Structure 1
Amino acid sequence: MQIKKVKITNFRTLSDNEFDFDSLTAFIGPNGAGKSTILYALDWFFNGGATPLEETDATYGSEDKPIEVRVTFDQLTSRDRKILGKYTPADSEEFTAWKISHRGETKLSANIKGNPLFDGVKSAATAKEKKALYKELREEHPELGLSDASTAGAIMDSLTLWEQQNPDLLEPISSDISTFFNGFSGDNTLKQLFNFAFVKADYRASEESEDNRATLLNLIIERTLNRKEADEKIQELFQTIQEQEQEIYDQTFGEQLDTLSNQLNQIINTYSLSRSVAVTPNAQELKPSKTNFKVSVKDGAHDTPVDHQGHGFQRLLLISALQLLAESTNANTEEQDNGTLCLAIEEPELYQHPVQAKAFAHILDSLSGKKNKHMQVMYVTHSPYFIPAYKYESIYRLTRKNRSNPTVSVGHADPSVVAKRLRKAGCKSDIEARYGLTLVQNLSTGLFANVVILVEGSSDEAILSSLSESHYDAELDRRGVAIISCGGKDSICFFHAILEQFDIPAVVVFDNDRGWESRFNQKYENNTKLDAEEIEIRRDNEAKSHIKSNRALVSFFGISNECNEADYPAPRCYEIDKQHYVFVVDDTLEPFLARNWEGWMDECNDAVTSLGVSNKKNAQTYAIATQKADFAKCPEFLQNVIRTAIKLHTDNPS
């Protein structure tokens, strides 16, 4: 089985948040937003035992309220159902459990909550009474859609199934009805089905390399080796040693101890005739320890302790252990089923060389991508390498709002919503095919930004980046503003729709291409290969392409009413809302700057000469020209793009 959904209530920064999980789930966002809190909440749910949480673990101002973590599982196997028993009726596709900490008491149960209407039926003393109450319940509440059950067992299955399918409608029920399905002693039911391996950012590899309870090495050993045979043989050996020890004592001290005992008894008998004593060897019981393992590092010809290695190697050891653990889980069979393994990693990129981080990201993606119900991966990351490109619906972006009383805001991209929004505006419809590649190449960096400036191409990106670095003291970088090239005008809507889903403020810059025809005429002015009719066909197609692109953008951003000419929207800034602005450039950026920034084109031509390039429309030449041109003459329009992005960050702090 796998985690399908988690709801966390009143735990640290997460006052009331719900998350859907996939085979791989990534959490991103600024520091302190609450990403790691999700993993810590799950670690408490699975590995925290009966230890109650502290008041300080509650959300600020809600210390008197219960802390609750609700986990819903799906993809149940027949083995899962067998172990969970009555908590998973035959028709149930899911299983939900709660863990609640309140006033020093912790409860973990699959039925700690329920429908109060069911209490009477559940607590009925006899089958006859249960049937009568169930019949009455169905008649009075037909909206519940309860099945026509005729036996006491079928009635309980029907009630359980309804509660499993409607967790949001349940309320706490009386303690005499609920039970600890798992308990904190005896058989740990959940551990048989689901192992949550959490690697925290501050974990030491030396500690995880010891064969202690819940360490990575221990998990690997339990899933790959059977200690029982060795333990039994060692027990037999110790028993033999104990018997041999007694023989040695008898041979060495036997007659001497008999003599000593007789001498002592002769004296005792002068005082008391009713008792006697015996002096014998006090053989200590030899108890063998359980088979235990350790990891050491072979550094050349020497064995060295793990904690003598650098942070990078120690983290690499943890990563390797995780990979081995995952591979052993994927090898589960019906005969040897160790349940599901969930790898939860806080900052998997930590201490890793970029090449190694990229490789590890690929490994995690590959492990979770296997069609295997026994493997699940989740992590918190600050690295674009770990953005799951083709599982975009599995990315959650967390931010904190309202500094006086912080709340967590969660951004999440729903592909169907993105697709619907784009198609409505008349944008290109091959969304699913382009989505993953887009994230890999460009957008992954933007998802980590506080504000994004979207531009058409690399030359536009070079101009704005150079302007920020040279004349704004790199303020965009310091504020976490990313400039993203969309790889063409037609992709702007696509990028923006995704950023909007993740609640990332954006400034959009695009050309209205009003002067396209003059460039077209210049291109075909001396053409001798094409006849006039073919040129006119191309002219008509290009006109339609520019108009279609402009109309799609105008429609997407909802500025049709503000544009006097929808085919070529007026060049200016359009405020879409408090988080999104659109700057329309008159024609394209190069002629705009040539007309409006005195000296910029001269610097551009000088850069072409000094670099020895044939085409001046080049990101590097544009960046140099922007850096060297007189900033005092820089157009306000261009500067306002930078200023607007800075203002967006100021107005929407993370």
Structure 2
Amino acid sequence: MKIKRVCIENFCCLRSLDVSFDAITSLIGPTGVGKSTVLRALDWFFNGDKGGTLGEEDVHSAADAKRIRVEVEFDGLTAFDRAALGHYAPDGIESVRIWRTWEDGDDRITGKALAFPPFDDVRRLEGRRDRHAAYKALRESDPGLDLPAARGWDDAEAAMRVGESQHRDRLAETDVEGTQFFGFAGQGLLAKLIDFVFISADLRAYEEADDGKATVVGRILEHAVDRSEADARFTAIEDEAQNAREKVHAEVYGPMLKRLSGALSGEVAKFSTGRDVVVKPVVQIPKQAKTTFAVNIKDGAALTAVRRQGHGFQRALIIAALKYLAETRRPEDGTRALCLAIEEPELFQHPAQTRVFAQVLRGLVLSAAERTQVMYATHSPVFIDPRNYEQIRRLTRVGSGDHPDVEVRQLSEEKLIQSLDGRVSEKSIRRHATTRYVKDLAEGLFVAAAVLVEGESD
């Protein structure tokens, strides 16, 4: 499952912006136009308001209501994605739309699903008991639905799912809130399908140099480190320890608890017959700790914390982790997609390192069998491949006054042919547009105007 397009409404400086995405998407434009805001809107969509800082000041100044909305359309659905999404992505549906809204502090995720309208009315009721009662009423009022009797809401919901899968011709689109189907804020299900990692311009590697779940290095390690063998061996150790604990309980507590049970049973028999008291030990099973990893830097003979390194080295550490991931990501990770959103990837880098980083990001996409997506906001031509000009999105500020807006421009081969109609032949464009015409175009994509001359010497 990959991001196809994003529609952002009233998020910071973006009043209404619709952006399509490719396997690699380059966001370019002047400073302050909103490139990073697009990435931060996606980070909020996937990972929520981690700092609890989202508020009314983040709503666009011209918004009619204090509401933020980010809608994401996904395509490239795999069998794993469809199984997890259920009625959001039945067979025959090529894309799925999910949106997140914030309004007056209320944060929720909603999805566009297919459902049988009468069943959907039942699901929208508040309590499980009310929904079960409504199911029974629907079953009695419309025998043609052939609904089975249900002992509880879970059985009723399962019966309705079976009915919808067997009669797809009567399904209609419906908005389904995350509180019903996604779990808390919907992030649980989304995290199973796409691991969205946002690397901000102010990110410091020392903040990310451990295996905490929310850290960049930790997320990368989750893809690059196979824990299965170690987990299996730790489970075997825990099983042996549990057996040993039970043996100690039986040998130490067993005799004394047996005497205590007999004594209490004798006392209870004086007041009530036919019952015995049994006292047994409750074996506490400790929670198995997950192995974590910490990153340190050996500088000469000294082993130092990452925080003691300069900004350039810290950025290089993150690049190195991504490069390693590109080379070693395991095929079995294909059940979950990885999406990397990077703000100003050229920061703190030597020019040669910058070129390596650009190659790493493209290699990451090429090596991941369409299970990785990369997007970045950049001011550097190094991260622009003119041969793939259709991957570039240029953001510009439009309008004036108190409430300027932002629009996005992109170019496809068909649009290029149309714009040059009568000037350059279609055959020439299709043959040379990604070779001869764009040889030195990368830097030119960042300029405000272009001057055409007849020859290289001119």
The one-letter amino acid of 2:422's match is K
Distance, in Å, in 1 between the alignment partners of 2:170 and 2:206 is 49
1:19 alignment partner AA: V
- Which of residues 442, 445, 452 is equivalent to 1:444? 442
Change (3 A) 1:233 1:384: same
| Paired residues, number | 389
Aligned-pair distance for 1:451? 2.3
1:358 aligns with 2:355: yes
Contact 2:109 2:186 in 1 (8 A): no
Report the residue type matching 2:385 in the other structure. Answer: P
Change in Cα spacing, 1:4 to 1:157, as seen in structure 2 (3 Å) is: farther
**TM-score for both structures, normalised by structure 2:** 0.74
- Name the amino acid aligned to 1:303: L
Q: 1:76: Cα distance to partner?
A: 0.8
Alignment check: 8 A CA contact 2:395 2:406 kept: yes
Distance 2:118 2:240 in 1: 59
2:33 matched residue in structure 1: 33
Indicate whether 1:341 and 2:364 are aligned. no
Letter in 1 for 2:430: E
Distance 1:35 1:426, change over 3 A: closer
TM (norm. structure 1) is 0.53
> Following the alignment from structure 2 to structure 1, what is the Cα–Cα distance between the partners of residues 187 and 28?
37
User: What is the Cα deviation at residue 157 of structure 1?
Assistant: 4.4
Q: SS of the residue aligned with 2:83?
A: helix
* Unaligned runs of at least 5 residues, structure 1: 134-150, 164-169, 247-284, 461-654
CA 1:49 to 1:241, structure 2 compared with 1: closer, same or farther past 3 Å?
A: farther
Offset at residue 338 of structure 1 (A)? 4.3
Q: What do the CA deviations read for 1:259-315 (whole angstroms, capped 9, x no partner)?
A: xxxxxxxxxxxxxxxxxxxxxxxxxx9987532211111223332211111211111
Tell me which residue corresponds to 2:406. Answer: 408
Over 3 Å counting, the alpha-carbon distance change for 1:127 and 1:88 in structure 2 is farther
Matched residue of 1:454: which SS?
coil
Match of 2:231 in 1: 228
Write the distance in 2 (CA, Å) between the matches of 1:131 and 1:38: 51
Please give the alpha-carbon distance, in whole angstroms, between the structure 1 residues aligned to 2:342 and 2:440.
25
2:76 corresponding residue in structure 1: 75
Q: Which residue of 1 aligns with 2:270?
A: none
Q: Which residue does the alignment assign to 2:188? A: 188
Pick the aligned partner of 2:389 from 376, 382, 392: 392
> Which amino acid in the other structure matches residue 341 of structure 2?
A
In structure 1, how many angstroms separate the alpha carbons of the residues matched to 2:34 and 2:167? 39
Q: Indicate the SS of the match to 1:222.
A: helix
Q: Deviations over 1:532-571 (max 9, x none)?
A: xxxxxxxxxxxxxxxxxxxxxxxxxxxxxxxxxxxxxxxx
Q: CA deviation at 1:98?
A: 1.0
1:523-534 correspondence to structure 2 within 5 Å: none
Asked whether the equivalents of residues 111 and 176 of structure 2 are also in contact (C-alpha less than 8 Å), the reply is no
Cα 1:129/1:424, change in 2 over 3 Å:
farther
Q: Is the 8 A contact 1:296 1:306 kept in 2?
A: yes
Matched, 1:418 2:419: no
Do the aligned partners of residues 234 and 394 (structure 1) sit closer, same or farther apart at CA in structure 2, a change above 3 Å counting? same
Query: Are the structure 2 counterparts of residues 187 and 359 from structure 1 closer, same or farther at C-alpha, using a change threshold of 3 Å?
Result: closer
Cα distance change, pair 123–288 in 1 and its aligned pair in 2 (3 A): closer
C-alpha distance in 1 between matches for 2:354 and 2:139: 61
Kept in 1: contact 2:80–2:335 (CA 8 A):
no
Query: Do structure 1's residue 367 and structure 2's residue 349 form an aligned pair?
Result: no
Q: Deviations over 1:512-549 (max 9, x none)?
A: xxxxxxxxxxxxxxxxxxxxxxxxxxxxxxxxxxxxxx
- 1:141-540 maps to which residues of 2 (within 5 A)? 152-154=163-165, 157-158=168-169, 163=173, 180-184=180-184, 188-223=188-223, 224-226=225-227, 228-229=231-232, 231-232=234-235, 289-329=289-329, 331-333=330-332, 337-370=334-367, 372-401=369-398, 402=400, 404-427=402-425, 429-437=427-435, 441-460=439-458
Which sits farther off after the overlay, 47-56 or 376-385? 47-56
Task: Find the aligned partners of 2:417 and 2:143 in 1 and give their Cα distance.
Answer: 50
Q: Does the 8 Å contact 2:346/2:378 carry over to 1?
A: yes
Question: Cα deviations across residues 422-466 of structure 1 (Å, max 9, x unaligned)?
Answer: 243354732233233357532211211122222233443xxxxxx
> Residue 106 of structure 1 corresponds to which residue in structure 2?
107
Gapped regions of structure 2 (runs ≥ 5): 123-134, 146-161, 250-284
CA distance in 2, matches of 1:186, 1:9: 19
Secondary structure of residue in 1 paired with 2:325: helix
Helix, strand or coil at the partner of 1:453: coil
Distance 1:439 1:201 in 2: 33
- The higher radius of gyration belongs to 1
Q: Is the 8 A contact 2:386 2:441 kept in 1?
A: no
**Counterpart-to-counterpart distance in 2, 1:293 and 1:17:** 40
Give 3-state SS (helix, strand or coil) of 2:40's partner: helix
Q: How much does 1:114 deviate?
A: 8.9
TM superposition shift of 1:94: 1.1
Deviations 1:16-46 (A, max 9, x none): 1111111111100111000001110110111
Report the secondary structure of 1:391's partner residue.
helix
Specify the alignment match of 1:94 in structure 2. Answer: 95
Distance 1:344 1:129, change over 3 A: farther
| Structure 2 CA distance for partners of 1:292 and 1:456, relative to 1, 3 Å | same
Deviations 1:234-256 (A, max 9, x none): 7579889999x99xxxxxxxxxx
